[in-house]
Amino acid sequence: MAEPRRPRRPSPRARGARRPASGPTGPGGPAAPAADEPVVELDVERVAHGGVFVAHHDGRVVFVPDAIPGERVRARITDRRHDRFWRAETLEVLEASPDRQEHVWAEASVDRAPERRAGGAEFGHIRIDRQRALKSEVLRDALRRFGGVEHDVEVQEIDPAFAPGVSADGTGWRTRVRLQVAEDGTVGPYAARSHTVVPVASVPLAVASLDELAPLSSRFPGARAVDLVAPSVGEPALVVVDVERMPRRGPRPTITERVGDRTFVLDRDGFWQVHRGAAATLTRAVQDAVDPALFDPRAANLDLYGGVGLLAAAVGDRFGDAVRITTVEADTRATEHAGANLAEWVGSRAVTARVDRFLDELADAATAAERARLRDATVVLDPPRSGAGRAVVDRLAELHPRQLVYVACDPVALARDVGLLRERGYGLDEVVAFDLFPNTHHVEAVARLTAIV
């Protein structure tokens, strides 16, 4: 990858004045609670999925953000609609954890009123090593509860060689940033858990070029959003979004991303991994996850939810030019790019289809010889955050490929699909996880499951 400039450290004036971790701050401090929103003191017990933490009040579970296990916080109950649990928001930290740090994004700090805290950096108040430990806990708990397996997985820092310029504190990694536009034209992120636009003085999770490019003091009346894009090849771009997506027909701007010695062309508004080092990390992780003893280059290998061909290329680069692999993606433009990006492989094919429908048609139409090639296959799948789901799992189990390499951005979705696959004759061999979203609760995992003969 092209090496970006080192992240620019904004001055204290640009980043916002540094303040204590708790306590009122005048006009920007916690607002007075409404009469029907009680304020309570909570002892924070553990982390939960979704970037919130678990406490109890009067025997009921309370989910509260902006905290750390072991802390005591003053919180406002904001949602009492459920019998089993309530939701709250932290107003003040009464007893701080030793893992609490000054928030990496001043505008997201707990010392601001909850409705004025910038969203998108919900773990930024936690030391980076504790963040990874908490994410590991969430992943292990999900696999145990929803997948029925005990697996000792630890979330890893990515190889710094894959992400030059990314800071050790987990800032300076985002290559794509969307700034929302308020009715008056001001820009900023949404406040956490709302659609209120919060003006900010910096975007510290972004790579340096986007932090410098961000038009944080400008106005864009009538626009929906402002997108900032920093591809690994070429200059960063600022795009004013007037509609939700670009037109499906006609010329559309493209960008080029480099992963190692390989380049990928995609639409500028198309999907690509957002961390500067994510594509290289996942390429190597998928290559490592495929068991070579089970891999047959002549089998009907599949890359499901394949995008522009990143992971199909990873398999091809690992096992050579003779690899047969079909990449399947519902987005027509992405499939067109995948076909071009994989053109050097005679055995590659890019298909535009919904994955569930593609597998249905494959299962219904396959000859005996084709079914044999499918049983010998390796299937890579990188589903959306909701996971592959029962219909896809059922079809995969029916086709019974030798091994599955599952790339997941949601621990619970991964665990549920692992549980379904285990019920259908697949064993979980390994899981690795990477901190591709520092200072947020998100985590990326790669799992290998093999057919139990």
CATH code, domain carrying 144: 3.40.50.150
- Same domain as 218, residue 367: no
Q: Which of 296, 326, 282 is nearest to 162 (CA)?
A: 282
- Same domain as 355, residue 209: no
> Is 336 annotated among the ligand-binding residues?
no
Q: How far is CA 135 from CA 50, 115, 268, 419, in A?
A: 10, 25, 31, 20
The two structure tokens encoding residue 159: 């190889």
Query: Using CA atoms, how far apart are residues 12 and 17, in angstroms rounded to an integer?
Result: 6
- Same domain as 358, residue 230: no
Query: Using CA atoms, how far apart are residues 345 and 333, in angstroms rounded to an integer?
Result: 20
- Same domain as 155, residue 185: no
Give the H or E element holding residue 420.
helix 411-423
In-domain check, residue 54: yes
In-domain check, residue 263: no
Active site residue 409: yes
- Same domain as 315, residue 295: yes
- Same domain as 52, residue 149: no
Query: Using CA atoms, how far apart are residues 293 and 218, in angstroms rounded to an integer?
Result: 57
The two structure tokens encoding residue 408: 């997941």
Q: Which of 198, 191, 69 is nearest to 134 (CA)?
A: 69
In-domain check, residue 254: no
Strand partners, 304: 328, 381
What average pLDDT values come out for the chain (453 residues) when binned by 10 residues?
A: 33 30 37 68 97 95 98 95 91 98 97 95 98 98 97 95 92 97 96 93 96 96 96 96 64 93 96 97 98 97 98 96 95 97 93 96 86 95 96 96 98 98 97 98 98 86
In-domain check, residue 190: yes
Tell me the residue ranges of DSSP E strands in 315-363.
325-329, 348-352
Whether the Cβ atoms of residue 74 and residue 99 lie closer than 8 Å to each other: no
- Same domain as 210, residue 153: no
Whether the Cβ atoms of residue 253 and residue 268 lie closer than 8 Å to each other: yes
Query: Using CA atoms, how far apart are residues 221 and 224, in angstroms rounded to an integer?
Result: 9
- Same domain as 399, residue 363: yes
Q: Which of 43, 41, 61, 63 is nearest to 52 (CA)?
A: 63
Whether the Cβ atoms of residue 265 and residue 255 lie closer than 8 Å to each other: yes
Contacts of 369 (CB under 8 A, 6+ apart): none
pTM of the model: 0.89
In-domain check, residue 146: yes
Contacts of 308 (CB under 8 A, 6+ apart): 264, 265, 266, 270, 271, 272, 329, 334, 337, 338, 341
- Same domain as 444, residue 331: yes
Give the H or E element holding residue 144.
helix 128-147
Q: Which of 84, 54, 275, 100 is nearest to 177 (CA)?
A: 275
In-domain check, residue 331: yes
- Same domain as 373, residue 225: no
| Domain termination site, one of 188, 211, 246 | 246
Whether the Cβ atoms of residue 196 and residue 115 lie closer than 8 Å to each other: yes
> Is 101 annotated among the ligand-binding residues?
no
The CATH number linked to 51 is 2.40.50.140
Query: Using CA atoms, how far apart are residues 359 and 404, in angstroms rounded to an integer?
Result: 14
Give the H or E element holding residue 313.
helix 310-319
Query: Using CA atoms, how far apart are residues 285 and 272, in angstroms rounded to an integer?
Result: 17
Query: Using CA atoms, how far apart are residues 397 and 177, in angstroms rounded to an integer?
Result: 38
Q: Which of 355, 346, 365, 299 is nearest to 327 (CA)?
A: 355
Domain containing residue 402: 132-163+271-451
Task: Identify the pLDDT of residue 369.
Answer: 86
In-domain check, residue 259: no
The two structure tokens encoding residue 104: 């990496």
- Same domain as 385, residue 239: no
In-domain check, residue 256: no
Q: Which of 153, 156, 159, 94 is nearest to 128 (CA)?
A: 156
- Same domain as 108, residue 16: yes
| Catalytic choice (408, 409, 418, 447) | 409
Overall number of domains in the chain = 3
| Domain termination site, one of 246, 281, 304 | 246
Give the H or E element holding residue 407.
strand 403-408
Task: Identify the pLDDT of residue 71.
Answer: 98
How do strand 444-451 and strand 85-95 relate by DSSP bridges?
unpaired
| Domain termination site, one of 246, 281, 305 | 246
Whether the Cβ atoms of residue 376 and residue 369 lie closer than 8 Å to each other: no
